[in-house]
Structure 1
């Protein structure tokens, strides 16, 4: 009789050790933990794809824009093409600066403090663009730090249930213990599957965003210097010159 029970338990254990079987046989709380972590993992990969694509697109657009900016063409023409309705962060910074410059020179005489207002406009635009690009980064950081503990909670709960079942059956045979413990450990594994990509992606994307922010700030500094020279010319000539191509 004992041999028959043991064989049945071994067969049941072998069935339960499949991934789908582990999920189906798990406690409803452990199932909830697994489903939540799987959902978080899918969302993490969606965010990673979106961020990587957005940053690459922004850098490519910035390369093309800087080529046109430094090509010697008219800044007014460039503003009409890209600055009025910017499609990428660097064009947005350029457009904000040109709009403030034109407002300061709108009445034919350059108003005092134009340089400071232009720099402030570019700074605000950089902050706004970075805030948009950094959306959902907190979610990546949260999943990377919290997911292992959520998985551990599912593991602890599952092991508690396993020990309770062992006490009720009064049988410590490995074939009886293994399925419940495997179900519990499966929750930790899913937690790590969600957390590890989130941490790696967060570090990589955060570095790329910092580089893009530095690129925009460098452009803002260079463009502010160009407009400052225009301000000095305007002060000397007591007239407002048209914006000229960057040299």
Structure 2
């Protein structure tokens, strides 16, 4: 096993990455309840990706068959009803978790120096999450989906000069139609998720560069022991991985 690990480490920074982001990444000791929601957001994201992937196998993105394919998933696919409800309920849970995660950032000033970039990346992720939810809302092709998309896309028509042309460009037609459904499907399944996952990666890398904030606002990097380790911090693993695992089980 050690030989395999050494072979991998000679070609890929596996152990050093694990140390820098987990076992030797120090986080403040005084994290509270609000700090569960970053890891919970990751759990919900994974749920959305896997349930969405499975639903895509049975969904047909055409105006003629979209609604029928959803009914097929609900009635004829084994546990299709469960997958669809896990996906739709997971979307609602995603927003709840993200709202609490953002509230914690506002409450403890996580938007201030040196964490401005972490906050900005998080805001962009929130905007993308809203776009992802909107694109997915049209896919069942029911009355609420159709008219909801009609209203939201019509908002762009209020932009002076280019509004009407922009609305038609977004829809791919003069009204919500098959072209709209197919482009929203492509964005919901491929376009936005790829960008979202990339920004989540950048969000975490930026966070681990400057370190997490904490309720008391203590900069743990200013108080080090003789070995250069923060006196007010503990390694993320195993302390907070176990804590997050407990939160995931309760969630």
What's the TM-score once normalised by structure 2's chain length?
Answer: 0.32
Give the structure with the larger helix fraction: 1
Bigger-Rg structure (1/2):
1
